[in-house]
Structure 1
Amino acid sequence: MDIKSVDLNLLPVLDALLRHRSVTLAARELDMSQSAVSTALGRLRDTLGDQLFVRTGRGMLPTPRASQLAEPVNTILDKLRDEVLSASGFVAADSERTFTLGLSDVGSYVLWPRIVSAVAQQAPSVRLRMRVVTQPLIASALESAEIDVALGAYPDLPDTLYQRRLFERKYVAMVRIGHPLAGKRLSVQAFARCPQAVVRLASGIQDRIDETLAQQGLTRERVLEMPSYLMLPPLLDAGDHLAVIPGQLADAFARHGQFKLLKLPFDLPASVIRMHWHKRFHEDAGNVWLRGVISSNFA
Structure 2
Amino acid sequence: MELKDIDLNLLVVFNQLLVDRRVSIVAEKLGQTQPAISNALNRLRRLLGDELFLRTSKGMEPTSLSIQLAEPIAYALSAIHSTLNQQALFDPERTSRTFTIGMTDIGEIYFLPRLMDTLAGIAPNISINTVRNTTINLKDGMESGHVDLAVGLLPQLKTGFFQQRLFEQKYVCLMRRGHALDKKKISVEEFSEAEHVMVVAPGTGHAKLDEAIERKGIRRNIRLSVPHFVAVGHILSTTNMIATVPERYARQCLAPFNLRFLEHPVDLPETGINVFWHAKFHKEPGNQWLRRLMFDLFSDKKNAAGSTPMQEPAGR
Q: TM-score range by the shorter chain?
A: 0.7 to 0.9
Moved more, 58-67 or 161-170: 58-67
1:247 aligns with 247
- Which residues in structure 2 correspond to 1:160-199 (within 5 Å)? 160-199=160-199
1:19 aligns with 19
Which letter does structure 2 place at the counterpart of 1:259?
A: L
C-alpha spacing 1:38/1:127, structure 2 compared with 1 (3 Å): same
Give the Å deviation of 1:156.
Answer: 5.3
User: 8 Å contact 1:193–1:222 — kept in the other structure?
Assistant: no
Which letter does structure 1 place at the counterpart of 2:175?
A: V
Give the Å deviation of 1:274.
Answer: 1.2
The aligned length equals 294
Q: Does 1:209 align with 2:208?
A: no
Q: Secondary structure at the match of 1:164?
A: strand
Whole-angstrom distance in 2 between the partners of 1:43 and 1:150: 50
TM-score (norm 1): 0.85
Whole-angstrom distance in 1 between the partners of 2:135 and 2:40: 58
Give the Å deviation of 1:175.
Answer: 1.3
C-alpha spacing 1:17/1:142, structure 2 compared with 1 (3 Å): closer
Which letter does structure 2 place at the counterpart of 1:251?
A: R
How high is the sequence identity, in percent, across the aligned residues? 34
Moved more, 189-198 or 251-260: 189-198
Q: Deviations over 1:43-90 (max 9, x none)?
A: 333332223233444443322222222222222322333323x38355
Give the Å deviation of 1:118.
Answer: 4.0
Which letter does structure 2 place at the counterpart of 1:208?
A: A
Give the Å deviation of 1:157.
Answer: 4.4
2:272 aligns with 272
Whole-angstrom distance in 1 between the partners of 2:51 and 2:157: 62
Q: Does 1:126 align with 2:129?
A: no
C-alpha spacing 1:183/1:90, structure 2 compared with 1 (3 Å): farther
C-alpha spacing 1:181/1:289, structure 2 compared with 1 (3 Å): same
User: 8 Å contact 1:92–1:122 — kept in the other structure?
Assistant: no
Whole-angstrom distance in 2 between the partners of 1:205 and 1:135: 20
Whole-angstrom distance in 1 between the partners of 2:285 and 2:37: 36
Which letter does structure 1 place at the counterpart of 2:291?
A: R
Which letter does structure 2 place at the counterpart of 1:277?
A: W
Give the Å deviation of 1:250.
Answer: 0.5
Moved more, 180-189 or 88-97: 88-97
Q: Secondary structure at the match of 1:134?
A: coil
Q: Secondary structure at the match of 1:244?
A: strand
Which letter does structure 1 place at the counterpart of 2:271?
A: S
1:153 aligns with 153
1:41 aligns with 41
C-alpha spacing 1:278/1:33, structure 2 compared with 1 (3 Å): closer
Moved more, 155-164 or 169-178: 155-164
Give the Å deviation of 1:144.
Answer: 4.5
Give the Å deviation of 1:22.
Answer: 2.1
TM-score (norm 2): 0.81
Q: Show structure 2 runs of 5+ residues with no match.
A: 300-316
- Indicate the RMSD between aligned Cα atoms, in angstroms: 2.7
Whole-angstrom distance in 1 between the partners of 2:136 and 2:59: 69
Which structure has the larger Rg over C-alpha atoms?
Answer: 1
Moved more, 264-273 or 4-13: 4-13
Q: Does 1:107 align with 2:111?
A: no
Q: Show structure 1 runs of 5+ residues with no match.
A: none
User: 8 Å contact 2:234–2:257 — kept in the other structure?
Assistant: no
User: 8 Å contact 1:197–1:241 — kept in the other structure?
Assistant: yes
Whole-angstrom distance in 2 between the partners of 1:108 and 1:9: 49
C-alpha spacing 1:23/1:89, structure 2 compared with 1 (3 Å): same
Q: Secondary structure at the match of 2:230?
A: helix
Whole-angstrom distance in 1 between the partners of 2:112 and 2:29: 50
Q: Deviations over 1:137-196 (max 9, x none)?
A: 543443444422211123454434332211111111111112222244322232222211
Give the Å deviation of 1:221.
Answer: 3.6
Which letter does structure 2 place at the counterpart of 1:34?
A: Q
Moved more, 99-108 or 287-296: 287-296
Which letter does structure 2 place at the counterpart of 1:276?
A: F
User: 8 Å contact 1:108–1:132 — kept in the other structure?
Assistant: no
Give the Å deviation of 1:19.
Answer: 0.9
Moved more, 102-111 or 267-276: 267-276
C-alpha spacing 1:59/1:138, structure 2 compared with 1 (3 Å): closer
